[in-house]
Structure 1
Amino acid sequence: MATPDRQATTLALAHALSAAERGLAVIPLSRTKLPALRSPHRDHATSAAPTTTTTPATPATPASAPAPPPVTCHGECGRFGHGVYDASTEPARIRELFAAAPWATGYGIACGLSPHHLIGVDLDTKSGTDSSAALRELALRHLFTIPETVVVLTPSGGRHVWLAGPPDVVVPNSASRLAPGIDIRGAGGYLVGPGSRTEHGVYATAPGTAHLTPAPCPPALLRLLLPPPRAPHPAPPPAGDHGKGLVQFVLAAHEGQRNTRLFWAACRAYENGIGPALVAPLIEAARNTGLSEREARATIASAARMTRHRP
């Protein structure tokens, strides 16, 4: 357990209470930017596993022991240690959270909660890309502007742009889905609050933005943040078991593997002489997993070139 830094904890608590006054639900964070309170269910699997006493003549058979049930508690147990589910705007509860975590040096702000329904646009610098330029390019391409809003500067040189979402829309968390170096903090996520001290330095509000409230997210940007609706009945693939299997392989892709699966399927299609016939079904399948048509066509064209076929 970390050694308490009373001054840092006192400052973090003061900043957290100030954020709560603005309607932002908070939790204490450690210097690693992780929730400071460990889960009360962390050792559940160990404690729930049966204890077996054996002798050399009767060896244990742990494979036959029933597995402990998974823990899905989101704070219903009444104890602290459930991450953003502990977040609160109540001063008394916030003080209790920090009293239970005297090693906390920062605080996290839960996203997606009323009244602001906060969305965090995290412009990272560690990826080696210019994420700010990537955001400007997205804004030009999709015809939106980032309004004047709260901006938090990170110790690594990045920025957190705070935006407010509609109350009836759930924005998911994502990493580099919009562009390399742009992460989104939405429902179930949190942002490190200004005034927090971490292993790498202190988070601070950008000059001239501390007095602002999170500005509404531009509709065009909001559409980019939401997963595309899945078609209820994807277009059937062309006849042939192999073609159908390749399309189903793409449809089963999860975020983070969509391009890889599409590229692999397209390569197999061209190698087996059904590439041109499978282009449209593969694009439709890729769109149903969340890729844009442009991304899908570019990936399939790369597969065609790799297998020495003209796109």
Structure 2
Amino acid sequence: MTHEARCALLRAALDAAERGWSVFPLRPGTKRPALHGEDSCPRIGDCAGLHRKWEDRATIDPNRIRRAWGDVPFNVGLATGPSGLVVVDLDVPKTKGSADTPSGVTNFRALCERAGQAVPTTLTVRTASGGQHLYFTAPAGARLGNSAGRLGKRIDTRAWGGYVIAPGSTTPNGPYAVIDPAPVAPLPEWLYALLSPRQAARVVIDPPSARAASRTSRYASTALTAETAAVQHAEEGERNATLLRAARALGRFIAWGDLPRSVVEDALQAAGEWAGLPDAECRTTIRSGLNWSIARNQQRRTA
């Protein structure tokens, strides 16, 4: 690799750090961390006394970055959690066998349409495979984890415990490049409602105030709209599984008192029947999913 290419990767790492994004080296031309694993940890330096993984060792220190990227053309890994980011990863079909197979971009647009929301405008990176990374700032006080397919087919998210390849990096499939330099937008509330675990949601909705109650209602109703729409538009062979996921996702709002069970049951039943599922199968699946979710979510205390 040329000196210019090495300098470009160093610049990409420094640019990310200047934005407050924690970076760490990936093996040249790959997506794999270049840091040592626990089995080969020398227990010195950063790992003195305790092995530190890539998320712990990611840094915004320009001096450390210059030392790491000074001689080796490492790709740039961006640790999303420490960076305060949630990145929506819109993938492309793994095979080219069918031109009709929707991509993550197509599915995400459909998700936005079903939820009655505009496609968010935010910093967007084209991935080496031809997909897209949509960058969002994480909600204050929230600690979202990664998700795989929760929002739809070929739609993953990266937050705490995850990382993405920063623009400027290159793999054998191609480069990662910014295609929309818009400012990084806050994660939309309706997406947060679909992604947030119980603990994250309670950070927002626990305070006993009118403002918190209004926001809770917004999250719950938006989640109900999005989940029922997902059931209605589920592909054949995936309808029952989609209905079960929707029931499990909405059950927490019943447990917390944000949605009446009858409202959720009626909405999911109508969506399942509209999608072509037998009414008895819908009732069984909905009951199973709601009971499972309610049993695992504590009833939120009222003020």
TM range (shorter): 0.5 to 0.7
Per-residue deviation at 1:204?
A: 0.5
The residue correspondences of 1:265-280 to structure 2 (distance < 5 A) are: none
**Under a length normalisation based on structure 1, what TM-score does the superposition of the two structures give?**
0.59
Per-residue deviation at 1:103?
A: 4.7
Q: Which amino acid aligns with 1:91?
A: P
Identical counterparts, % of pairs:
33
2:293 corresponds to which residue? Answer: 287
Cα distance in structure 2, aligned partners of 1:163 and 1:183: 13
Cα distance in structure 2, aligned partners of 1:133 and 1:147: 14
Q: Aligned pair 1:77/2:48, yes or no?
A: yes
Larger Rg: 1 or 2? 1
**Under a length normalisation based on structure 2, what TM-score does the superposition of the two structures give?**
0.60
Q: Aligned pair 1:33/2:31, yes or no?
A: yes
Q: Which amino acid aligns with 2:148?
A: A
The residue correspondences of 1:165-244 to structure 2 (distance < 5 A) are: 165-206=138-179, 209-210=180-181, 212-227=182-197
The residue correspondences of 1:37-186 to structure 2 (distance < 5 A) are: 37-39=35-37, 41-43=38-40, 76-77=47-48, 82-99=53-70, 102-104=72-74, 106-113=75-82, 117-127=84-94, 128-186=101-159
User: Do 1:229 and 1:288's aligned partners in 2 also have CA atoms closer than 8 Å?
Assistant: no
Q: Which amino acid aligns with 1:215?
A: A
1:9 corresponds to which residue? Answer: 6
Cα distance in structure 1, aligned partners of 2:104 and 2:295: 25
Unaligned runs of 5+ residues in structure 2 are 95-100, 201-239, 246-280, 297-303
CA RMSD after TM alignment: 3.6
Cα distance in structure 2, aligned partners of 1:156 and 1:279: 37
Q: Which amino acid aligns with 1:199?
A: P
Cα distance in structure 1, aligned partners of 2:17 and 2:192: 25
User: Do 1:37 and 1:80's aligned partners in 2 also have CA atoms closer than 8 Å?
Assistant: no
Deviation string for 1:239-285 (max 9, x for gaps)?
xxxxxxxxxxxxxxxxxxx959x89xxxxxxxxxxx99976652334
Unaligned runs of 5+ residues in structure 1 are 48-70, 231-257, 264-274, 291-311
Query: What secondary structure is seen at the aligned counterpart in 2 of 1:171?
Result: coil
Distance 1:29 1:78, change over 3 A: farther
Distance 1:122 1:78, change over 3 A: farther
Q: Which amino acid aligns with 1:191?
A: V
Per-residue deviation at 1:164?
A: 0.9
